[in-house]
């Protein structure tokens, strides 16, 4: 799985560099975690958070100002999807077995190639707006990163969750 949080990130020095439909993020608590949202233009962001901060008892997809989204973050980053939508190359030998085609590998490769549709800025913002008011936040399966990446790609994923799961799988207790 592509690690979106560490691939293709561009630091933004000025807010004026943001474009409508960008997946933006900020580092929180000295990089303990990243918070994501969709820039909708005119200094506004749609994100999954409590209106009083990232976490709380009222976590909802809502619109806020860029200033409030940034809080005390030193800078914003924009996920650069141009680098992430490169289709995987594969050779026929990669999907062949001595008995014929490995259907699982073929379907996995096709799925990986198809799932990387990058939505236009308008479609990205429309997807974000379609979920305004949603209250189904789940840190592991439906967090701010899942939301923002889904708005841009149609695939709900969180590299932060993936990294934690990998660490837990590799941990020796």
Measured between its terminal Cα atoms, the distance across the chain in Å is 25
Domain with CATH 3.90.1720.10 in the chain: 9-82+118-170
Mean pLDDT check: name the lowest of 21-30, 37-46, 153-162: 153-162
- Residue 168 confidence (pLDDT): 75
pLDDT of 21 over the 80 cut: yes
pLDDT of 6 over the 50 cut: no
Query: What is the number of other CB atoms lying within 10 angstroms of the CB of residue 70?
Result: 18
Half-sphere exposure at residue 48, Cβ-oriented, CA atoms within 13 angstroms: 23
pTM: 0.76
Scanning 32-143, the segments in alpha helix (DSSP H) are 66-70, 92-95, 103-114, 121-130
- Residue 94 confidence (pLDDT): 59
pLDDT of 93 over the 90 cut: no
CATH number of the structural domain 9-82+118-170: 3.90.1720.10
**Strand order in 76-79's β-sheet?**
9-12, 76-79, 23-28, 33-41, 44-49, 60-65
């Amino acid at each position: 799985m592509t690690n979106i949080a560490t691939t293709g990130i561009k630091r933004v020095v000025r807010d004026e560099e943001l474009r409508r439909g960008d997946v933006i993020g900020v580092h929180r608590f000295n990089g303990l975690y990243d918070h994501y949202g969709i820039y909708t233009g005119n200094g506004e962001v749609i994100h999954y958070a409590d209106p009083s901060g990232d976490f709380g008892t009222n976590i909802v997809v809502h619109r806020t100002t860029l200033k409030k989204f940034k809080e005390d973050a030193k800078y914003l980053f924009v996920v650069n999807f141009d680098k992430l939508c490169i289709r995987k190359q594969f050779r026929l030998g990669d999907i062949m077995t001595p008995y014929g085609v490995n259907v699982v590998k073929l379907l996995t490769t096709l799925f990986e190639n198809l799932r990387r549709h990058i939505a236009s800025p308008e479609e990205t913002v429309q997807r974000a707006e379609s979920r305004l008011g949603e209250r189904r936040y789940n840190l592991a399966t439906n967090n701010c990163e899942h939301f923002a990446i889904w708005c841009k790609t149609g695939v709900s994923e969180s590299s932060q969750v993936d990294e934690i799961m990998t660490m837990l799988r590799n941990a020796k207790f």
